[in-house]
Amino acid sequence: MTAEGIPGKNVATGKFDQNLAGRYRMDKIFAAAAWGATIVAVLILAWLLLTILMDGIGTLNLNFLDSFPSRKPERAGIKAALFGTLWLMCIVAAFSFPIGVGAAIYLEEFSDDNWFTRLVEINIGNLAGVPSIIYGLLGLAVFVRILEPITGGRSVLSGGLTLALLILPVIIVATREALRAVPNSIRLAGFALGANKWQVISHHVLPSAMPGILTGVILALSRAIGETAPLIAIGAVAFIRSTPDSLQSSFTAMPIQIYNWVGRPQADFHHIAASGIIVLMIMLLLMNAIAIYFRNRFQQTR
């Protein structure tokens, strides 16, 4: 710390607070506040999870998983949304995984420190801070409107591409960290044996970075399937009575379906919204568990 702060304080003027008991009392209050804040955060999480469990567990059954949306809450189900989300996940993974990993390999392994690399780096930092709904507007203008002949308008492909762009910065950052964690001695050993850069990357660097990369990709995917706003912006509709059968089908997704049910006035729809949330949270939990499994394996092998 700088010395400028001291003249304004009591220390320099000799009014040092010697009331040690009082200072210790303040200490206790402060520690209690810090613990209190942490406990409050945990309690809120517990409150959130408990409310949803209690609201939704009653209407969660196989019938709910296997039915299409309906105007009658007791008949409505989440099948269309579940399949929509699975389709979205495959499309997002198919695009964002190769592009994100390729971009990260370029930045970390191939490029020199030139203007292009620096531009991409600054750019990725900024893209990560752009609100998700803005990506939705981009998807609406580009994928739904301009590329309509390819994507089929408000289709599952448009949704997947929008979400892929959204999580690209996350995947690039995670992949770069995983690549950076690979010891340089592995690269040097490869070069010493006469391998060129790509051979070293594809045979040695990528395999040993793969658990870390997969962790990042799965976490990014779990973020993508929880996103609602960009999908609403590109015009995904909640009332669809079929599962997608091609990339150009119209679609719905779990968060959209949940949003639609929460927004209705009848309490019965709120219960099935909670059931939908339980299904969504279980999916996210599974994905996180897989990511944590990869992370732990990664840390053990190093």
Partner 1 sequence: MTAELPVNEIAPGTWRPNRSRSKTIELIIKVICGAFAAISILTTIGIIGTLIFETFAFFGDLPLELSKDDQSVSFFQGILHFLTAGRWTPLFASKQFGIGVLISATLMITFISLAVALPLGLLAAICLSEYASAKVRRILKPVLEILAGVPTVVYGYFALLTVTPFFQWLLGPLENALPWWPQLEGFNALSAGIVLGVMITPMVASLSEDAIYSVPQSLRDGAYALGTTKRETVWSVVLPAALSGIVSSLILAMSRAVGETMIVTLAAGANPTLGFNPFVPVMTMTAFIVQVTAGDAPYGTIAYKTLFVVGMTLFLITLALNVFSFWFVRRFRQKYD
What residues from 58 to 87 belong to the interface with partner 1 (CB under 8 A)? none
Q: How far is the CB of 217 from partner 1 (least distance, A)?
A: 14
- The residue range among 61-69, 77-85, 230-238, 242-250 that interacts with partner 1, by the rule CB under 8 A, is 230-238
Among 235, 248, 290, 295, binds partner 1 (CB under 8 A): 235
Which CB atom, from 184 or from 265, has the smaller least distance to partner 1?
Answer: 265
Name which of residues 173 to 202 contact partner 1 (CB under 8 A).
194, 196-199
Name which of residues 241 to 280 contact partner 1 (CB under 8 A).
255, 258-259, 262-263, 270, 273-274, 277, 280
Binding letters toward partner 1, positions 29-48, x by CB under 8 A: -xx-xxxxxx-xxx-xx-xx
**Separation between Cα atoms, residue 149 and residue 180, nearest integer Å:** 41
Which CB atom, from 243 or from 257, has the smaller least distance to partner 1?
Answer: 257
| Axis crossing angle, helix 79-105 with helix 254-262, rounded to the nearest 10 | 130
> Which residues, 6 or more positions from 183, have their beta carbon under 8 angstroms from its beta carbon?
none
Among 27, 66, 74, 245, binds partner 1 (CB under 8 A): 27
Residue of 223, 217, 275 lying closest to 82 (CA atoms): 275
Name which of residues 87 to 126 contact partner 1 (CB under 8 A).
98-100, 102-103, 105-107, 110-111, 116-117, 119-120, 123-126
Can you say whether residue 194 is alpha, beta or left, with left for phi > 0 and alpha for psi between -120 and 50 degrees? left
Please check whether residue 197 is in contact with residue 171, taking contact to mean a CB–CB distance below 8 angstroms: no
**Separation between Cα atoms, residue 102 and residue 97, nearest integer Å:** 8
Residue of 224, 260, 220, 80 lying closest to 139 (CA atoms): 224
